[in-house]
Structure 1
Amino acid sequence: MTIYIDGSHTFCTSRNTGIERVVRKLASNLELISAEQNNEPARRVIHHSGRFAILTKGIEEQLTRVAAFEANPADQVPKVLRRLFELSTGLIRNRKWRKLVLPEPSHLGIYKLPYQIAKFAVTRKSLGRAEKVQWREGDLLVLPDAYWTRRDVWASVKAVRDCGAKVVTVFYDLIPLTHVEFVGGRRSEKFRHYVEQLLMNSDQVLAISKSVQQQLIEYVNENWGADDRCCRRIDSFPLGADVQVTDGTIRSEVRAYFESDGGRDGGAPYLVVGSLDPRKNHQQVVKAFEYLKRQGSPRRLCFIGRAGGLSGPLLDLMSTSSIYPSHLKHFSDLSDSELQYAYRNCEAVIMPSIVEGFGLPIVEALWYGANLLASDIPIHREVGGEHCTYFPLHEPENLARCLLAAERGRGVISTPYTPTTWKESTEAFLKISKAA
């Protein structure tokens, strides 16, 4: 048996959060485990032109160059042109214009077409000549990526199963169906089609938490009845949390904000990690810190994450808030080294989400030994257990009182935590998938 892990989206992008992090960690640990057990090497693959192509080091290097363009597209243009764009944002004081000409990391703006042309040229040249997988009975194809963005993959997956190989798909959440208000009707319908294809073309589905597993089982029972085209083997596995320690430069502005005396005796800032998205509920945290400021507290707040497409109201709230800019900072482009520095030097991590599939910042924060406050939702209870202090949703003053209690040295739980490593997570994934 050969294990193949697809990363058709992830292996072509510079992003390394959420789903992309899961894909990369599963891939590297599947390779490690297969080598340790002297099995056939696990292989990385990408779907291209109706086939799965094997990803070699050479192809990966070419895709990495394209990903670097996506990471910071404005850095790829001549300095004179970039300077003109910078000057234009001073004349045209419009957020949409700035997002177009000087997009944040991993956003493309006006560079979308050049990026797509470059990506098409590289993938056509490199993957067009790549070795195609010759599927055998008993092979395992792992599908852990964002397939709602790549709907052309399913016909090829069906062909893989017709060859006798087994298909295991990783499932992250049902949020676009259960909370349409956070994604919009169009994206929700697109996601519904993805779930339908996933259920019809998988031998087994592995959810990233027991909560998501139960939600998907209920969804299948309600929407598929006795339809035998639907996959009924729905299990879950634990995500890992070990983050590779990296040595890198910490920018002075990051270091300065996280130094205790940077807040004039207010201590280190509280930290919220995750994309700026309505379901992440950053608004409650901003309002809680506004309340703290009115009470005379010098505590500061730091958001780390990219601005999502629906983040406009939050950005407006942040820019007009009474705590901005002295008590509120937003970093959208931290390196792994800087993110680790933030986890290690914050007062505590706040996870205020309304809904999550898992919540990686919880286990990452606990991995670094940070104190943690999380909104009281089932998935946070599952992941954080007794290691978190929980607060109710939509009650900023209640959260503020939790933070005030923390200032007095009580109220925030900090108990020893032994995380699941990514290797242990991958071993559990393999054990469950082989048992099916």
Structure 2
Amino acid sequence: MTRLLVECTYVYEHPKANSGIQRVVRNVIRELPTKGQGRECLPVVMFRGEIYEVKSLAPLPDRGLDLVSLRGRLERAANLFWLAQRTLESRRPFNQSLWARRLLYAGCRLFAFGCLSIPIRLIDRLLRHKPAPARIVPLQHRPDDILVLLDSSWHADFFPLAEQLKRDGVRIVSVIYDLIPLTHPQFCDEGLVKVFNRWFDWIARTADGYVAISATIRDQVRQEMVRRIGEQRVEERWFDYFQLGSELDLADADGAVDRELQRLFEQPEPVFLMVSTIEPRKNHAYLLDAFERAWAAGSQARLCIIGKIGWKCEALIERIRRHPQLHRRLFVFNDASDQSLEHAYLQATALVFPSYVEGFGLPLVEAMQRGLPAMGSDIEVFREIGGEFMAYFDLDDPQSLADLVTGMEHSGVFPATRPLDQWQWLSWRQASEQLVERIERHNVLADREPVCG
């Protein structure tokens, strides 16, 4: 019986993380096909040089201190602290004096080292010596297993283990979400660009197959592989893609919706919704430009931004904080629950998604599956997902989005070629099944036509 060992190490270690990749991993793992038809799918984690089967991704009740959660809170605190430092650095007197900036930076480094870095390092040391919790059990690999690297493995330290598994006959399949750190490094942290580049070199040498989350990314991956290792070696590997689901698995029917968000939708004026982490690639500045044009033309539409604060966004956050329409026509929610997000999807007028580049665009299908029409930037992957059911705007012209907003506000008609009630998408169960089936199909083909190195 073929076993698919589906790796989910990062999500296991950070169970409360809920950005795009974590949402995908958690839902695919939850909906893995049950044992049967000559296959078995097992979620696994890899650390301490061993492989473990996951019995529960969610943390088990623990009377002791939850070190993993504490470490996560400290990491988030560190991110917010340095965001505040960079914001303060841009103001007087620091923006007028090099010595003042150096003094500020030195003070912040000292504080961060003593109050954040040292506690994080101590927790890491404790976690390394803490017995493995009961939600995982040791797993012995077999020569005919398939290791599916589903999680964000570029920051992992299990590469030697994976290489040993391959020497023992285990095939390796890498799920690739996008190549943005390679194709658009200006949108990413410099450290991530270096780490991701090293990871891609490793995965190019190591994996037997690659599954992207869209046909667009599948083709990009193949092109990048040809550039790095040559056409002949690329022909020895296989490339495919699967599509993502749309349910919000952390939405609790009995959970509370943010009261301020509720009040936003109790007013009659239309609400246009943006859902994403706030970072340069998502293009929130373009969004503000477009809505400022619409407001200047007399629009009463409101813009609701839902997403945590990310990186390289200090100027944007300052612009939002000082915006004259904040809390009037501009609203921002950085810590919305899935239940609040579900409410927003169901109540908004339309989704607006002006990203420069995406691997998929999960908010698009989350919105459209709930009957919320979506306006997106005119990029290839959005055309792949939305087709004639979406409306598109020009990233070089904010007025094109302003015109879509005011046009829909006045007419009440969404300007897509085909009506949204004819659009259908996959559930997470179907997405997980699709991933497994496509991996199995290529595995069978590889067995029939063995590759000679």
Task: Verify same fold: TM over 0.5.
Answer: yes
SS of equivalent residue, structure 1 residue 398? helix
User: Does structure 1 conserve the Cα–Cα contact (< 8 Å) formed by 2:373 and 2:414?
Assistant: no
Structure 1: distance between partners of 2:114 and 2:352: 31
Q: 3-state DSSP class of the match of 2:205?
A: helix
* Residue 187 (structure 1) shift: 2.7
Matched residue, 2:49: 50
TM-score, normalised on structure 2?
Answer: 0.82
Does structure 2 conserve the Cα–Cα contact (< 8 Å) formed by 1:372 and 1:412? no
Following superposition, the deviation at residue 219 of structure 1 comes to 1.0
Q: Is the 8 A contact 1:284 1:352 kept in 2?
A: yes
Say which SS state the counterpart of residue 163 (structure 2) adopts: helix
1:395 and 2:397 correspond? yes
Cα distance in 2, alignment partners of residues 172 and 124 from structure 1: 33
* 1:332 Cα deviation after fit: 0.9
My pick for the range that moved more, 309-318 or 405-414, is 405-414
Residue 351 of structure 1 pairs with residue 358 of structure 2: no
Alpha-carbon shift at residue 95 of structure 1 (Å): 8.9
CA RMSD of aligned residues (A): 3.3
| Amino acid corresponding to residue 348 of structure 1 in structure 2 | A
2:319 aligned residue: 317
8 Å CA contact 2:189, 2:311 repeated in 1: no
CA distance in 1: counterparts of 2:313 and 2:257, whole angstroms? 27
CA distance in 1: counterparts of 2:189 and 2:332, whole angstroms: 26
CA displacement, residues 31-51 of structure 1 (integer Å, 9 cap, x when unaligned):
xx124x376753322211222
How far does residue 113 in structure 1 lie from its aligned partner after superposition? 4.3
TM (norm. structure 1) is 0.84
Instruction: Look up the match of 2:264.
Output: 257
Amino acid at match of 1:9: Y
Aligned to 2:155: 149
Alignment of 1:24-423 (within 5 A): 24-30=26-32, 33-35=33-35, 37=36, 42-57=41-56, 60-61=59-60, 65-69=66-70, 72=73, 94=88, 110-111=115-116, 113-122=118-127, 124-127=129-132, 131-150=137-156, 152-226=157-231, 228=233, 232-244=237-249, 246-247=252-253, 248-259=255-266, 261=267, 265-267=268-270, 269-408=271-410, 409-413=412-416, 414-416=419-421, 417-423=423-429
- One-letter code aligned to 1:49: R
**Partner secondary structure for residue 235 of structure 1:** strand
Runs of 4+ aligned structure 1 residues displaced above 6 Å come to none
Kept after mapping to 1: 8 A contact 2:9/2:44: yes
Alpha-carbon distance in structure 2 between the residues aligned to 1:243 and 1:109: 38
Q: Is the Cα–Cα contact under 8 Å of residues 258 and 336 in structure 2 kept in the other structure?
A: no
User: How many residues get paired?
Assistant: 408
> Measured at CA, do residues 428 and 277 of structure 1 come closer, stay the same or move farther in structure 2, by a change above 3 Å?
same
Structure-2 change in CA distance of 1:128 and 1:296 (3 Å)? closer
Q: Take 1:7 and 1:400, find their aligned partners in 2: how far apart are those partners? A: 41
Post-superposition offset of 1:10: 1.1
* C-alpha deviation, 1:139, in angstroms: 1.3
Q: Which has the higher contact order (CA 8 A, sep 6+)?
A: 2
Q: Deviations over 1:58-107 (max 9, x none)?
A: 9942799445435655999xxxxxxxxx9xxx9xx94999xx99xxxxxx
- Where does the alignment leave 5 or more consecutive residues of structure 1 unmatched? 77-85, 102-107
Counterpart CA distance in 2 for 1:159 and 1:38 is: 28
Q: Give, in angstroms, the shift of residue 185 of structure 1.
A: 4.4
- Per mean C-alpha deviation after superposition, the further-off stretch among 360-369 and 225-234 is 225-234
Q: What fraction of aligned residue pairs are identical, expressed as a percent? A: 27
AA in 2 matched with 1:393: L
Pair 1:115–1:362, CA change in 2 (3 A): same
Deviations 1:351-386 (A, max 9, x none): 110000100000000111101100100000011112
1:79 alignment counterpart: none
The Cα of 1:322 is off from its aligned counterpart by 3.3
Q: Determine the C-alpha separation between the residues in 1 that align with 2:155 and 2:295.
A: 43
Deviation at 1:226, TM superposition (A): 4.7
